[in-house]
Amino acid sequence: MKQVKKNLPAEQRRAVTVEAVIQLAAEKNPSTITTAEIAARMNLTQGALFRHFPKKDALWQSVMEWISVRLLGDVDEVIGKANSPMEALELMFLAHINFAARHPGAPRMMFAELQRPDKSAAKRVAHAMLSKYSERLEKIFEHAMAEGVIDTNLDVSTASVMFIGLVQGLVMQSLIAGDTSVMLSNAKPVFALYCQAIKKSER
């Protein structure tokens, strides 16, 4: 197990702690992760851990912020490289799948947090991220409609929900199988089928 240096600057310590949580979430149910386990993973005492995160909820919020910043960053990067709205959609879809494959603990944290009955700070971050993600999708759909590539009667809100649902479905199948190659191998054919549903029909 990788050893974590004990004398890290506060900001770096918080970042390392967040990454430790995501690693643990890839191995077990996030709701059962304890601060004792996190501290042990980092070779620290719980007291040292709480100096940077006064309570578990604060740590969970930071984890969700880490996921949000990195996932949306990956998405924005590929959208910026796309030469057409349909290419942007495909690159966004694949970027999300690849993010989940690199960080399998991230979607597990998202699923666990969104299922919580209470309105935690972490859950609010997760909802805000999904809202920003949907906004990006809807802009791409509107661009595609303006170019006459997809049906102008497309309900962009529903199309966005479907897009996110397909990603989540692929991720969930991989989590159940315990094999990230499941979503990686199925991503392109699933996206191709999605495109058939939203593209403008030839008449």
For the chain, the structural domain boundaries read 55-198
pLDDT digit string (tens) for 72-98?
999 999 999 999 999 999 999 999 999
Residue with more model confidence, 32 or 12: 32
Instruction: Give me the pLDDT at residue 3, please.
Output: 47
Neighbours of 74 (CB within 10 A): 17
Residue 156 CA to residue 140 CA, distance in Å, equals 9
Q: Which amino acid is at 173?
A: Q
155-180 average pLDDT score: 93
CB 191 within 8 A of CB 94: yes
153-174 average pLDDT score: 94
Q: Which CATH architecture has domain 55-198?
A: Orthogonal Bundle (1.10)
95 dihedral zone (left: phi>0; alpha: psi -120 to 50; beta): alpha
Instruction: Give me the pLDDT at residue 24, please.
Output: 95
Residue with more model confidence, 163 or 56: 163
Residue with more model confidence, 44 or 19: 19
Measured CA to CA in angstroms, residue 177 lies from 21, 131, 174, 180, 184 at distances of 21, 29, 5, 8, 13
Share of the chain above pLDDT 90, in %: 68
Residue 56 token pair: 């578990």
pLDDT digit string (tens) for 100-122?
999 999 999 999 888 888 888 99
13-28 average pLDDT score: 91
Q: CA angle, 81 as apex, 78 and 82 as ends, to 5°?
A: 90
8: confidence class by pLDDT, cuts 50, 70, 90: low
Instruction: Give me the pLDDT at residue 55, please.
Output: 87
